Amino acid sequence: MSNIHTENISYTANGDTMRGFLAYDADTEGERPGVLVIHEWWGLNDYIRKRAQQIAGLGYRALALDMYGEGRTGDAPDQAGELMNAVLGDMNVGTARLKAAYQTLHDHPTVDGDRLAAIGYCFGGAMALHMARIGMPLRAVVSFHGALGSFHKPAKDSVKAKILVCHGADDAMIPHEDVRKFKAEMDTAGADYTFIAYDGAKHGFTSQAADENGKKYGIPLAYNATADNASWKAMRKLLEEVF
C-alpha cells in the first residue's frame, strides 16, 4: 500500500510567490523521476491535487504547479478566464512560471533531475505543449484536452520531449483548424509526437466535474470515463517508456 506524502510548497518566479503541491510515495527511497502537473483554467484546485497524488501512486514525484501566483483559483468562468488570460496575454510571465516550477522539481532532493516530464489539463495542456515547443529538457509532455495554438514555433529538431496529445474528437472548444496546424507544426519541427482523438469525447473529458460545470455555465464540457481511462493508460505507457 502506497504511503503518499503531500505538502504545500512555495517558490518564486520573477519575484512572485507561487504555491505548489508536492506528492510522492514516502516508502520509496532514493531519487525518482519527477512529473509536473499543470492545472486547468480553474487554477490549482482539488482535482489537480488528486491527479498529482495519482502520479505519486505510480512511483513518481509529482509537483502540481501554480500558474496564477499565490495559489489563486477561479470559481466561475469569468474569474477563471481572467486569471488564465492574464497569463496568456504575457507569455514571458507564463514561461518564467513554468521554468520556476521545473527548477523547483528538478532541485528537490527526492527527484532525479535528468528524468522529468510534464502533464497538463485544458489550459495546463497548452502550457505543457509550450514547454515542449521551447525545448525545455523534459523526457515527455502530455496534454489532456488542451488548447493546441502555439505561442512559439519550434525550430527543426528543437523539441526534446516526446509529446502525447489526448484530444476529444467531439471537442467543440478546439477548432479543427487548430488540430491541423498543430500536426503540421510538429511535422515541420520533426517532433516525436502521438495524437489520439477519442470518439465521442468532449472538452474536459477527464474531469468528473465537467458535466456539472457544463450544465451550470452553458459550456460544452462532459466527462467521458472511456476516454479518461484510455488517456491515463496512454500517459502511463509513455512515462514508463521515457523513464
Q: What mean pLDDT, rounded, does the chain reach? A: 97
Q: How confident is residue 1, by pLDDT bands cut at 50, 70 and 90?
A: very low
Q: What is the mean pLDDT of residues 186-205?
A: 98
Q: Which residue has the cell 484530444?
A: 167
Least confident of 25-29, 86-90, 117-121, 200-204: 25-29
Q: What is the mean pLDDT of residues 222-234?
A: 98
Of 179, 55, 32, 185, residue with least CA distance to 110: 32
Q: How confident is residue 178, by pLDDT bands cut at 50, 70 and 90?
A: very high
Q: How many domains does the structure of the chain reveal? A: 1
pLDDT, residue 21, reads: 98
Question: How far is CA 88 from its chain centroid?
Answer: 15
Is 90 exceeded by the pLDDT of residue 29?
no
Rounded CA-CA distance 191/47 in Å is 30
Return all residues near 129 (Cβ < 8 A) that are at least 6 apart: 120, 141, 143, 146, 148, 163, 165
Per the CB < 8 A criterion, the answer to whether 142 and 166 are in contact is yes
**Structural domain that includes position 59:** 4-242
pLDDT in tens, 210-219: 999 999 999 9
Using CA atoms, how far residue 20 sits from 39, 76, 188, in Å, is 11, 21, 35
Least confident of 27-31, 105-109, 110-114, 167-171: 27-31
Of 73, 173, 160, 163, residue with least CA distance to 120: 163
Q: What is the mean pLDDT of residues 148-169?
A: 96
Return all residues near 152 (Cβ < 8 A) that are at least 6 apart: 91, 130, 133, 134
pLDDT, residue 28, reads: 86
Using CA atoms, how far residue 116 sits from 6, 98, 137, in Å, is 19, 13, 8
**Distance spanning both ends of the chain, measured CA to CA:** 22
What CATH number is given to the structural domain containing 238?
A: 3.40.50.1820
